[in-house]
């Protein structure tokens, strides 16, 4: 066919195996081209890298620690037969309380260098919104954050933080009123104001070059964790476990281990009220290949191609899509994807709090919920207790209302539990 | 010469009408399509409602949600196309929508079903040229065209790529998205958009229609002066939404299409 061999018809860069691509309105294509060029001409330069890494060191507080969780390890595996050592990569200690700031600073710095005068973002749990609002305050750029109205209600502290940081929070009332719909409205804003506006995507998802750009900014997590594990225990870990919504913290911690064949990689999705109920966000486990928000990846959708509403107690995982690189890691077998229910995540929050004195985010708690299973699986395979690194992607202060209602139902708003 | 080629070869500006199939019901969408054709529309864009229509403004986004709730989707839209084609052998029928429903159906299967339903061409708003080769091929092999889009942000490289693809055949016309924004944007400068459409036609060698923001006789006239045709979408969906009864909706559609037809016809003579 003449038309398929014509210039301009060749597949663009930005595929991970068969996943990825650039499925957007034509209006946005030149902006994505501009961003892809900026990745090469700006992000790749030593000057940009030095400025961004300087911010990570002196503003974010990197490197974050890799701490050993001894009491949690014994609580998960009292005999020590499967779990030898458990390490926590403490992204909760980043300024703003989650890994999201690594990417937001990188992208907002890029927006500034590209001469953009306005930044927009979507957010689920509010962590990416807070991170973007923070970066915009630091660089003096106006910031608008789209957030599903259900998430505005359940993550109220982060809404307040964004407003204090000078950002405008735009509640989104359409569809499921969560992250998916926030991203729809952010894309509508971008298509309308594309000349002036930089769209700061928070997950390793969306059209090319976002999945690559976000992964590059988050890879700092895995680079540090790998070196820290080698230093702390003289060997690489046997497994790395991280939670997955769109998958930015997971891809950030996985990437530096991809060529370490002895390190098993596990992503944990949200099983919501249980896979069998249909009310979940286990996109990789239960979805099919489709196209949502600009890339080809696994998607929760029906036979007619209509995207389904996801469900998770965790706003950050409540998304029916996933980044394209994770779809590829699933299909090529390099990573395995598990899931944890709302109840399991809640139990994990309580366990980590009481054994380690760390209040983790509900998103992060999904990863902790599967650490015991991962350790048993690998220990049986290897015939020895294993070491595991968990990506502790964020802290749980934002979830306080949900946590108190579900974990301490007898506590009154002003009082503590008895 | 394809059916749509023959429509553009007539000595008249082409009026394209978009319907969100399933809003208010699939059966009534078929009835309203008949009304559009009777009132002077030449080409129907039968919209496949999608759950996440990121290129659409609130009017069409809400219509899409209603349509899905009423059983709308790819299968229902193809059913509607078949029913309309049976009565209207000369009308242009474009299947208009987002990529995921076609991708999940399977590109070859969707193209074959579209051909069988009498669809002339596919227009997929979130499938730029580079990622659309497989669907174009599947459609072309079954005698179904594809309609590329260009926008105010499109520079020479995008226009050149569109020209190359159009030269291979299977491109009945080009859709010029006249506004940097979503559907239903009020800010359209119709005359400028028409002038740009005329430039694009000269560069690409295919007819160019102007869409997004055509909601009145004046805008239809101003845009059609230099463009080959105009598309009405949001204004039509809004007229349907505001009608309290089927008869009122038919009347509103008929009035709007007649107004726009008059505007397009005036563009030819002034």
Beta partners for residue A144, in sequence order: A120, A168
Q: What is the pTM of this model?
A: 0.95
Question: Does the structural domain B13-262 have CATH classification 3.20.20.70?
Answer: yes
Q: Which of B50, B99, B100 is the best mutation test for A, with the most CBs of A within 10 A?
A: B100
E strands of A224-370, at which residues?
239-243, 264-272, 288-292, 295-299, 335-341
Q: Is it the case that residue A4 has pLDDT exceeding 70?
A: no
What does the block give as tokens for B133?
A: 């080769």
Residue A258: CB atoms within 10 A of its CB come to: 15
Query: Which residues does chain A have within 8 Å of residue B148's beta carbon, measured at their own beta carbons?
Result: 26
End-to-end, the C-alpha distance of chain A in Å comes to 74
Residue A105's Cβ-side half-sphere holds a number of Cα atoms within 13 Å equal to: 27
Residues A326-364 have pLDDT tens digits of: 999 999 999 999 999 999 999 999 999 999 999 999 999
Tell me, what's the pLDDT at A7? 36
Query: Which residues does chain A have within 8 Å of residue B159's beta carbon, measured at their own beta carbons?
Result: none
Higher-confidence residue of B184 and A64: namely: A64
Mean pLDDT for A167-196 is: 94
Query: Which residues does chain B have within 8 Å of residue A320's beta carbon, measured at their own beta carbons?
Result: none
Mean pLDDT for A15-30 is: 96
Tell me if B168 and A303 make a contact (CB, 8 A cut-off): no
CB A406 within 8 A of CB A346: yes
Residue in A6, A180, A307 nearest the CB of B165: A6
Residue in A21, A26, A28 nearest the CB of B150: A26
Tell me if B126 and A25 make a contact (CB, 8 A cut-off): yes
CA distance A370 to chain B (A): 32
Tell me, what's the pLDDT at B179? 87
Q: Report residue A412's pLDDT band, with 50, 70 and 90 as the boundaries.
A: low
B56 is catalytic: yes
Residue pLDDT tens, chain B, 270 long: 899 999 999 999 999 999 999 999 999 999 999 999 999 999 999 999 999 999 999 999 999 999 999 999 999 999 999 999 999 999 999 999 999 999 999 999 999 999 999 999 999 999 999 999 999 999 999 999 999 999 999 999 999 999 999 999 999 999 999 888 898 877 778 899 999 999 999 999 999 999 988 999 999 999 999 999 999 999 999 999 999 999 999 999 999 999 999 999 999 865
> What is the residue whose two structure tokens read 């030898």?
A84
Closest to A187 measured CA to CA, from A176, A167, A172: A172
d(CA A403, CA A380): 34
Residue in B68, B164, B185 nearest the CB of A8: B164
- Exposed, middle or buried: residue B102 (CB in 10 Å: 0-12, 13-18, 19+)? buried
- As a CATH number, domain A16-57+100-215 is 3.40.50.1100
Residues 6 or more apart from B56 whose CB is under 8 A from it?
Answer: A188, B64, B182, B183, B184
3-class secondary-structure state, position A168: strand
Tell me, what's the pLDDT at A416? 44
Tell me, what's the pLDDT at A413? 55
Tell me, what's the pLDDT at A146? 98
- Give the right CATH number for A63-96+218-407 from 3.40.50.620, 1.20.1250.20, 3.40.50.1100, 3.40.50.720: 3.40.50.1100
Query: Which residues does chain B have within 8 Å of residue A7's beta carbon, measured at their own beta carbons?
Result: 160-161, 164
Greatest alpha-carbon pair distance for chain B in Å reads 48
Q: Is it the case that residue A102 has pLDDT exceeding 80?
A: yes
Residue A159's Cβ-side half-sphere holds a number of Cα atoms within 13 Å equal to: 17
CA distance A106 to chain B (A): 26
Query: Which residues does chain A have within 8 Å of residue B133's beta carbon, measured at their own beta carbons?
Result: 3-4, 9, 11
- The CA–CA distances, whole Å, from A148 to A27, A223, B56, B155 equal 25, 33, 18, 34
Q: Taking CA atoms, what residue in B is nearest to A305? A: B101
CB A83 within 8 A of CB A382: no
Tell me, what's the pLDDT at A108? 98
d(CA A45, CA A113): 12
Closest to A299 measured CA to CA, from B168, B50, B163, B15: B50
Residue in A25, A30, A290 nearest the CB of B104: A290
How do the domains of chain B map onto residue ranges?
Answer: 13-262
Whether the upstream peptide bond of residue A209 has omega within 30° of 0, thus cis, is: yes
Mean pLDDT for A301-318 is: 96
Catalytic residue among B45, B113, B120, B228: B45
Query: Which residues does chain B have within 8 Å of residue A192's beta carbon, measured at their own beta carbons?
Result: 180-182, 185
CB A326 within 8 A of CB A284: yes
Interface of A with B in 18-77 (CB under 8 A): 21-31
ipTM: 0.95
Closest to B232 measured CA to CA, from B175, B181, B180: B175
d(CA A317, CA A335): 18
A vs B, Cβ pairs < 8 A, gives 167
Domains A16-57+100-215 and A63-96+218-407 share a fold: yes
Tell me, what's the pLDDT at B188? 76
Phi-psi region of A110 (alpha: psi -120 to 50; beta: other; left: phi over 0): alpha
Cβ–Cβ contact A12 with B under 8 A: yes
B45 is catalytic: yes
> What is the residue whose two structure tokens read 């599967």?
A370
Tell me if A303 and B102 make a contact (CB, 8 A cut-off): no
Query: Which residues does chain B have within 8 Å of residue A31's beta carbon, measured at their own beta carbons?
Result: 153
Cβ–Cβ contact A192 with B under 8 A: yes
Residue in B75, B100, B165 nearest the CB of A3: B165
> What is the residue whose two structure tokens read 């298509």?
A191
Percent of chain A surpassing pLDDT 90: 93
Query: Which residues does chain B have within 8 Å of residue A287's beta carbon, measured at their own beta carbons?
Result: none
CA distance A30 to chain B (A): 7
Q: Give chain B's radius of gyration (CA, Å).
A: 17
CA distance B169 to chain A (A): 7
Backbone angles phi, psi at A311, to 5 degrees: -145, 135
Catalytic residue among A89, A100, A296, A330: A100
Residue in A1, A2, A8 nearest the CB of B160: A8
d(CA B162, CA B129): 7
Tell me, what's the pLDDT at B269? 66
Cβ–Cβ contact A305 with B under 8 A: yes
Cβ–Cβ contact A2 with B under 8 A: yes
Catalytic residue among B23, B28, B42, B56: B56
3-class secondary-structure state, position B189: coil
Q: Is it the case that residue A11 has pLDDT exceeding 70?
A: no
d(CA B143, CA B69): 32
d(CA B153, CA B144): 28
Tell me, what's the pLDDT at A6? 35
Q: Which of B47, B52, B196 is the best mutation test for A, with the most CBs of A within 10 A?
A: B52
Interface of A with B in 170-189 (CB under 8 A): 174-175, 180, 184, 187-188
Q: Considering chain A, what is the average pLDDT of its residues?
A: 94
Closest to B217 measured CA to CA, from B179, B269, B261: B261
Tell me, what's the pLDDT at B106? 98
Closest to A354 measured CA to CA, from A274, A417, A413, A268: A417
Cβ–Cβ contact A283 with B under 8 A: no
Q: Which of A23, A307, A319 is the best mutation test for B, with the most CBs of B within 10 A?
A: A23
């Amino acid at each position: 066919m003449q038309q398929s061999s014509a210039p301009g018809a060749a597949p663009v860069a930005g595929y991970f195996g068969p996943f990825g691509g650039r499925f957007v309105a034509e209006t946005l294509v030149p902006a994505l081209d501009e961003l892809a060029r900026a990745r090469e001409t700006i992000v790749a330069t030593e000057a940009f890298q030095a400025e961004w890494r300087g911010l990570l060191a002196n503003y974010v507080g990197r490197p974050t620690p890799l701490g050993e969780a001894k009491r949690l390890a014994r609580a998960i595996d009292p005999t020590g037969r499967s779990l030898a050592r458990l390490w926590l990569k403490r992204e909760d200690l980043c300024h703003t309380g989650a890994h999201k700031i690594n990417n937001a600073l990188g992208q907002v710095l890029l927006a500034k260098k590209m001469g953009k005068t306005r930044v927009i973002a979507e957010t689920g749990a509010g962590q990416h919104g807070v991170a973007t609002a923070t970066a915009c305050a630091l660089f003096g750029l106006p910031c608008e954050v789209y957030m599903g109205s259900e998430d505005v209600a359940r993550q109220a502290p982060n809404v307040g933080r964004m407003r204090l940081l000078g950002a405008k929070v735009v509640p989104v009332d359409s569809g499921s009123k969560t992250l998916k719909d926030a991203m729809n409205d952010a894309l509508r804003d971008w298509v309308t104001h594309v000349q002036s506006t930089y769209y700061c995507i928070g997950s390793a998802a969306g059209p090319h070059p976002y999945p690559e750009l976000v992964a590059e900014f988050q890879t700092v997590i895995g680079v540090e964790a790998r070196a820290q594990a080698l230093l702390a225990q003289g060997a690489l870990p046997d497994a790395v476990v991280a939670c997955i919504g769109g998958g930015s913290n997971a891809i950030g911690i996985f990437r530096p281990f991809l060529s370490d064949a002895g390190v098993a990689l596990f992503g944990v999705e949200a099983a919501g009220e249980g896979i069998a109920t249909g009310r979940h966000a286990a996109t990789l486990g239960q979805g099919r290949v489709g196209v949502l928000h600009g890339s080809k990846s696994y998607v929760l959708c029906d036979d007619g191609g209509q995207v389904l509403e996801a469900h998770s107690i965790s706003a950050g995982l409540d998304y029916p899509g996933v980044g394209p690189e994770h779809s590829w890691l699933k299909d090529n077998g390099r990573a395995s994807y598990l899931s944890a229910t709302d109840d399991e995540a809640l139990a994990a929050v309580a366990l980590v709090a009481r054994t380690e004195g760390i209040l983790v985010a509900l998103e992060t708690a999904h990863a902790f919920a599967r650490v015991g299973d991962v350790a048993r699986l690998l220990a049986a395979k290897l015939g020895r207790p294993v070491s595991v690194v968990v990506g502790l992607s964020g802290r749980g202060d934002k979830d306080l209302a949900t946590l108190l209602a579900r974990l301490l139902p007898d506590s009154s708003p002003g009082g503590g539990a008895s | 010469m394809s059916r749509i080629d023959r429509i553009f070869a007539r000595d008249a500006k082409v009026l394209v009408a978009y319907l969100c199939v399933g809003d208010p019901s699939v059966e009534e969408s078929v009835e309203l399509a008949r009304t559009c054709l009777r009132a002077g529309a030449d080409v129907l864009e039968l919209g496949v409602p999608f759950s996440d229509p990121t290129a659409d403004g609130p009017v069409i986004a809400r219509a899409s949600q209603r349509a899905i709730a009423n059983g709308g989707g790819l299968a229902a839209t193809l059913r509607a196309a078949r029913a309309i084609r049976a009565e209207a052998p000369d009308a242009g029928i474009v299947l208009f929508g987002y990529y995921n429903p076609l991708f999940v159906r399977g590109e070859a299967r969707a193209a074959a079903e579209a051909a069988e339903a009498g669809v002339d061409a596919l227009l997929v708003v979130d499938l730029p040229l580079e990622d659309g080769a497989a669907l174009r091929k599947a459609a072309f092999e079954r005698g179904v065209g594809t309609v590329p889009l260009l926008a105010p942000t499109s520079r020479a490289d995008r226009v050149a790529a569109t020209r190359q693809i159009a030269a291979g055949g299977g491109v009945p016309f080009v859709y010029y998205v006249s506004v940097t924004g979503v559907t239903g944007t009020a800010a359209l400068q119709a005359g400028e958009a028409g002038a740009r459409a005329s430039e694009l036609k000269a560069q690409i060698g295919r007819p160019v229609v102007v869409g997004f923001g055509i909601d009145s006789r004046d805008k239809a006239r101003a845009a059609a002066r230099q463009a080959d045709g105009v598309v009405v979408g949001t204004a039509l969906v809004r007229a349907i939404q505001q009608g309290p009864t089927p008869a009122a909706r038919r009347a509103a559609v008929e009035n709007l299409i007649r107004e726009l037809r008059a505007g397009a016809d005036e563009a030819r003579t002034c």
